[in-house]
Structure 1
């Protein structure tokens, strides 16, 4: 299951798409919770989904970093400008994939609020309540990292489409879970 010069390993492809869908679902769950009044149990239900997906993204992101470090990568296409930009975008995406769940957890911790994961694991607040610090982590989580992720996703998807349709190399096909290589 090691990556080859022509394609990522099946494990990396699976992790890539699973994390992508979990990010999409985490965003959807936090948006859906806004449709309910604060007293409605469904609002809390959607937030448990959000926290559980965030924890899953953190776990899968760490595992993906480990797998990538130990199982190689395919050939990196592009010119002398594109390769470092591609590596920078990928690196920043890893930072955000790990940073968003961590800042979300710290935001809740410093707000003095517990977190329930998968309706079975309660993570109690273990730090002293400090709403000023909680607000800083909320800004990082909700504004800075989220908007940075959106910019990086546009660059990431745009780069993949550029490689596929303009330079016509194998970049996009390396990560697709289906089709020919």
Structure 2
């Protein structure tokens, strides 16, 4: 495990940006489905996109956690509270990347609905129908976790920009797929 690398591995960079794009598209797809009336096939089409992307985020986040656990991470930049806050934000983002797809799936399961993934198959219900629990999971998924994700994204992106524009260290450069890491003293 290389904990002192000067940059994230290409695998982790790829997973980071794929997850970011999939989350953005999952959000877009759930917003776009609202433009269609109930019963319109396009409304259902956008929801299948949403479920499929969410499920993909779940598996990509698990792959990212595995890769990071087995391959380490570069040294964190920052002083004082920056490192613990950074680790907290990153940890909470992992909780949300796992929690949102799971609560979304469980919400549908407890509502008694199948979930179509990639137009290839339906995940059948594996729990007994419980509308009250489905509503609680819907609140957790749509209100709590979504808003928490937005706050964490602001902190994450703001922190990256702070490091890049104010402290001028390699934090942002080491995650960009095309970025070159500056060597200290050169």
TM range (shorter): over 0.9
Structure 1 residue 77 displacement after superposition: 0.5
Q: Deviations over 1:64-102 (max 9, x none)?
A: 000000001001000121000000000000000000000
For 1:15 and 1:74, the matched residues in 2 are separated by: 16
Q: Distance in 2 between matches of 1:19 and 1:180?
A: 22
Equivalent position of 1:164 in the other structure: 164
In the TM superposition, what is the alpha-carbon distance from 1:37 to its structure 2 partner? 0.6
Q: Which residue of 2 aligns with 1:73?
A: 73
Moved over 6 A (4+): none
Please say if residues 8 and 74 of structure 1, whose CA atoms lie closer than 8 Å, have aligned partners that are also in contact.
Answer: yes
Q: Work out the CA distance in 1 between the residues paired with 2:64 and 2:7.
A: 16
For 1:68-107, what aligned pairs fall within 5 Å after superposition? 68-107=68-107
Separation in 2 of the partners of 1:23 and 1:4?
A: 29
C-alpha deviation, 1:4, in angstroms = 5.0
Find the counterpart in structure 2 of residue 27 from structure 1: 27
**Which residue number in structure 2 is paired with residue 39 of structure 1?**
39
- The two structures, once aligned, show a CA RMSD in angstroms of 1.2
Q: Secondary structure at the match of 2:163?
A: helix
Structure 2 counterpart of 1:123:
123
Between 141-150 and 119-128, report the one with greater CA deviation: 119-128
CA distance in 2 between counterparts of 1:103 and 1:96 reads 10
- Which whole-Å deviations, capped at 9, do the CAs of 1:94-134 have from their partners, x for residues lacking one? 00000000000000000000000000111011211111000
Unaligned runs of 5+ in 1: none
Q: Could you list the runs of 5+ residues in structure 2 that have no partner in the other structure? A: 182-186
Deviations 1:20-62 (A, max 9, x none): 0000000000000000011100000000000000000000000
